[in-house]
Amino acid sequence: MIIDCIMSMLLLIVIGLFHCMCMYLLLIDSIGSLLCERVLNVLFDIWILSCAHCFPAPSLWKTLQDMCSSWRHHDALVAQWHRVNVAFTTRLLRNIYGTMPRLPAAQGILYSD
């Protein structure tokens, strides 16, 4: 129960942090855009880990959905979403068909194996 609370609060903090940092368009290759990309990677990593341990509440899913639709102007969000989908698809295909070569986009992602 305490882990659920901690994960929920951590997710809310990272969502709020990313929203405050990246709600506006940022200059390409600026420190702000690099930080936003890193925070977004952390957000997706924590989200996937929390799904594995204690599934987030529906209100958190709604918050993430609303925030992602307001962040869709960032290339980092689209790229991270692509990497997550490739990682999950690779894992699903590996579970269905057995050994498969790893797709290049899935390399280096925490939850790809």
pLDDT in tens, 31-73: 777 787 888 888 888 888 888 888 888 888 898 888 888 887 7
Residue 3: which pLDDT band, with cuts at 50, 70 and 90?
confident
Residue 112: which pLDDT band, with cuts at 50, 70 and 90?
very low
Whole-model pTM: value is: 0.72
Query: Residue 3, exposed/middle/buried by CB under 10 A (0-12, 13-18, 19+)?
Result: exposed
Distance separating alpha carbons of residues 80 and 40, to the nearest angstrom: 8
pLDDT at 107: 54
The domain segmentation of the chain, as residue ranges, is 2-76
